[in-house]
Structure 1
Amino acid sequence: MKGYCFLIIVFLTSLFIVIGCVEPFSPPEVNSDEGYLVIDGFLNVGLDTSRIELSHTQNTNTQTSVLKEPGAKLTVEGEKGETYAFTEKGNGSYYLPPYSFNTAQKYRLRVKTRVGGEYLSDFVEVKNTPAIDAIEGKLDTRQDAMVMQVNTHDATNSTRFYRWGFEETWEYRAAFYSSLELVGGQIVSRKNDINLCWRTLKSSNILLGSTIKLSQDIIKDLPLTTVPIATNKLYIKYSILVKQYGLTQDAFEYWTSLAKTTEGTGSLFDPLPSQITGNIRSTTNPKELVFGYFSAAVEQKKRIFLTPNLGRYPTCSAPDTLEIKDALKSANMLMNYYGERSEYILETIDYCADCREQGGVTKRPAFWE
């Protein structure tokens, strides 16, 4: 729309496919084995728990999982001296329950590791976040997909910089129903339904938006993710939970730089090819690198459900028919009895009859409609 443009930085591999030749870039910072500390999280001054994760950088060529940092002491400090201590929950994750924070104050994060390192962020202002106005799924026939979009606005024109994350959950079925299983060498009726599952995935890309060049603080129809119909996520029921955060300009610039960097590596969680450190410093060794950006904001959430019935029921090759004596020795998934006198049993591979093989769980989410 003429005269209506705003800076949107959205890196979604499902929206854009870039084909080309890229010359590998291997700076010494990420080809060393120093294992610099990475601090990921923010202070949620709203009604939800704050979560911060501590981990370490790794060589870009390493194939091992990310090394976490347990046993640390994390506190948030206010300008007037008050402190709030995080509780460790394991695997490098630390949590702080909701408090009535003074949003007019500034806060900083202090981290003390078990080996004696200490890290301190700058004091940051609390950024309010306006509510999410709407989340919509719009069918794009050209892409044969549903594009999930977010809308928000700040009537006071004071937010201007935004970041989003999301969690998508969908209900699905395995192609075949298994009513039998082998227990103790006997064929018995299956106790638990493994045909119906739910799977949840979190966003891994950096989603940013700014209205700094607009007269009004309005974000309209910003695309968050594209859900191809061929994935069958939209066949039974689909839900997306969107999380929205207001940012300071400094935080926005940090995330923008990080987004430009991770565009070349694939996602936020891949090893970084350049040095983007943020607003946290080591107090015990000023020359030591530490990665991350501490901010304070109100987290806004909104969830929607869609039942567009787009896609098709899953299919698999026809099941095999076994005599009962052979079914007793089968390593595959037993389905049900077959034949006029139920003298046979149908079997298939696990993937075709056990929905958990596709990454989901059989427990219905508490939030599910």
Structure 2
Amino acid sequence: MYKRLIYLLLLVQVSCIDPYEVTVAEGPQILTIEGTITSAAGPHTVRLTRGATYGSVFEGLIRPVTGATVIVRDELGNVTYLSENLENRGDYQSPASFSAIVGRSYTLQIQLTDGKVYSSFPEKVNNVPPIRNLTYQSERIPVEGEINDASGVSFIVDIDDPAEENNFYFWRNSPATYVLETRPDLYVDRETMSPAPKDCCAVCYKSETTGNSSFFIANDDNFNGLSTRIKAGFILDDGLRFVNTYRVDLRQLSISAEAYRFLRLVKQQTEISGSVFDPPPANIRGNMISLDNPDEVVLGYFIAAGETSQRVYINGAELDFRQNVGIIADDCRQVEGSVFDPPVDWDPGA
């Protein structure tokens, strides 16, 4: 009886505790500027976004910054205006005829609708060594807790590094196109859930922007003036990309030492393993500043670089390892980004 009474008294005390409410001040919406211009033909893109910080009701939401005036200016005073892409708001593009000139320095300048002005530090366009050879190979990646490995295709470049200068390399993928194979004969009517095979179409050409799975960068401290082979890219196999033929241009950029240091820090932070030995994540300052308030935190980096590229067609049948084929039970033309006719410059035999 006494034990039951003590239990009831403890229960009443616990139930009367008021919850402690924590109030966190709403953080600022940080402007992020991502932009690259190169010596290759345009258009070149600068993207403006704002991300809400911890404490905001919009935390984690990235919003485009629209209506800005964006220009690129070289040291001779030549100005190029970038116009906003109305389909992808927040993206500002140069004219297709614009390309950076090797040896010149460029500054990105931005004025927002509220009158605030931002500028980059000047970035010099360096000459880029050519890609002497580009090869590819399968790469398997063990996944913790999974029986089957992930996999993809790695790109390996051969370059002859110039001896008379310190070079910094950055590799990126262009938008890619591949042969998409689907199974319209397996189509099922969504309303009746009964088989309704379609006569067309099983083969299309799908375009996509994959990007690399990481930042592929290098400096020539260990191979200055020598010929070397470097891993310069990786594309994940999703069970569709490498069933038939996959085409992509690998872009090799010669960037500044400051841009290299920025990308190296971003790469290190994105590859944090999650252990107690990892450094704490932090905002990495780039080369953009506010002319109205130099103490304002502005994220991102404006890159100006020399560029060369090389196109490669990947024959899926030649890969040592591929994922199980993904099944799309529908007309391939129903897949976003797919068309029936190949691009006019599609030429796997070239």
Change beyond 3 A, Cα 1:88–1:315: closer
Aligned to 2:53: 59
Aligned to 1:260: 268
1:212 aligned partner, one-letter code: D
Superposed counterparts of 1:143-292, under 5 Å: 146-155=153-162, 157-158=164-165, 160-167=167-174, 168-177=176-185, 193=201, 196-200=204-208, 201-225=210-234, 227-228=236-237, 231-264=239-272, 273-292=281-300
Displacement of 1:294: 1.8
Contact 2:287 2:301 (C-alpha < 8 Å) held by counterparts: yes
Displacement of 1:38: 0.9
Displacement of 1:89: 1.5
Q: Take 2:270 and 2:133, find their aligned partners in 1: how far apart are those partners?
A: 28
Q: Take 2:263 and 2:302, find their aligned partners in 1: how far apart are those partners?
A: 11
Change beyond 3 A, Cα 1:106–1:215: closer
Displacement of 1:199: 4.7
Q: Take 1:114 and 1:108, find their aligned partners in 2: how far apart are those partners?
A: 20
Contact 1:149 1:225 (C-alpha < 8 Å) held by counterparts: no
Displacement of 1:162: 0.5
User: Any idea what SS the aligned residue of 1:260 has?
Assistant: helix
Aligned to 2:346: 368
Q: Take 1:279 and 1:231, find their aligned partners in 2: how far apart are those partners?
A: 40
Displacement of 1:211: 1.2
Superposed counterparts of 1:13-28, under 5 Å: none
Contact 1:161 1:211 (C-alpha < 8 Å) held by counterparts: yes
Change beyond 3 A, Cα 1:124–1:139: closer
**For each residue in 1:91-120, what CA deviation from the matched residue of structure 2 results, as whole angstroms up to 9, or x when unmatched?**
111111234755333221111011111001
Q: TM-score, normalising length from structure 1?
A: 0.68
Q: TM-score, normalising length from structure 2?
A: 0.71
Of all paired residues, the percent bearing the same amino acid is 20
User: Any idea what SS the aligned residue of 1:42 has?
Assistant: strand
Displacement of 1:132: 1.9
Q: Take 2:311 and 2:165, find their aligned partners in 1: how far apart are those partners?
A: 25
1:53 aligned partner, one-letter code: R
Q: Give 5+ residue unaligned stretches, structure 1.
A: 1-30, 183-187, 267-271, 317-350
Q: CA RMSD in A?
A: 3.6
Aligned to 2:78: 82
1:118 aligned partner, one-letter code: V
Q: Take 2:284 and 2:131, find their aligned partners in 1: how far apart are those partners?
A: 30
Total equivalences in the alignment: 296
Q: Take 1:113 and 1:226, find their aligned partners in 2: how far apart are those partners?
A: 36
Superposed counterparts of 1:296-335, under 5 Å: 296-309=304-317, 311=322, 314=325
User: Any idea what SS the aligned residue of 1:259 has?
Assistant: helix
Q: Take 2:45 and 2:281, find their aligned partners in 1: how far apart are those partners?
A: 26
Q: Take 1:365 and 1:67, find their aligned partners in 2: how far apart are those partners?
A: 35
Displacement of 1:197: 4.6
Contact 1:179 1:189 (C-alpha < 8 Å) held by counterparts: yes
